[in-house]
Chain A
Amino acid sequence: KQEVTQIPAALSVPEGENLVLNCSFTDSAIYNLQWFRQDPGKGLTSLLLIQSSQREQTSGRLNASLDKSSGRSTLYIAASQPGDSATYLCAVRPGTNQAGTALIFGKGTTLSVSS
């Protein structure tokens, strides 16, 4: 059974720091991996999607990497800002091209960036 783990569970940093969030999964047979952001009481905002054949994706100050063979992904946030404070969730899609396959989520990393 696929399990997704995120470390650390919580992280507090001063503004301007570069930081790395970690995600690991037990079964390397994934179709893709998606990073989300969730603000308190809100829905999920998709940040980056990495297909299983890709190594990394970048969007603005965010960079996500994927090492499928070792079951790891990292989300790198450059020059953190107070507005980055949120919970970041990693989710994998099991390795099938069947339509309507659901995501398996980690428990998230709650990030707090102080000004």
Chain B
Amino acid sequence: DTEVTQTPKHLVMGMTNKKSLKCEQHMGHRAMYWYKQKAKKPPELMFVYSYEKLSINESVPSRFSPECPNSSLLNLHLHALQPEDSALYLCASSLEDVGVLSPQHFGDGTRLSIL
């Protein structure tokens, strides 16, 4: 069982829809990440939140909008997506105290299909 929980597990949406992916962890981790993974490819970083502030945005299109309401929650708001955005979206978290880095723990992902 994963300690990083992602909902929903599957999502099918049209290109004009607005939806949100959610990620939750209760391990006290202060860094949270969104990765995108296409079939048979490695995960690619999208965003990093460190201490609830956006620290990295890997030139992701504005149709993806991250939000970190508190240290346990991470959302990814979706709007006007394209068929090529269909992928597995993975959330991860790590402890991250000053000078102490720790393993990243991943959720099971949300399988997103854009019609």
Contact = CB atoms under 8 A, between A and B. Distances in A.
A100 to B, nearest CB: 3
Given A43-B90, A43-B107, A100-B96, 20 more contacts: A34-B103, A42-B109, A43-B2, A43-B6, A43-B109, A44-B43, A46-B106, A49-B103, A89-B42, A89-B43, A97-B101, A99-B30, A99-B51, A99-B101, A100-B31, A100-B48, A102-B45, A105-B42, A106-B42, A107-B41
A107 B31 contact: no
B101 A93 contact: yes
Contacts of B90: 43-44
Interface residues of B, number: 33
B35 to A, nearest CB: 8
A48 to B, nearest CB: 9
A99 B43 contact: no
B50 A34 contact: no
A85 interface: no
B105 A46 contact: yes
B104 interface: yes
B93 to A, nearest CB: 10
Contacts of A103: 43, 45, 104
Contacts of B43: 44, 89, 103, 105
Contact of B108 (A43, A46, A100): A43
Contact of B31 (A31, A41, A45, A99): A99
Contacts of A45: 2, 106
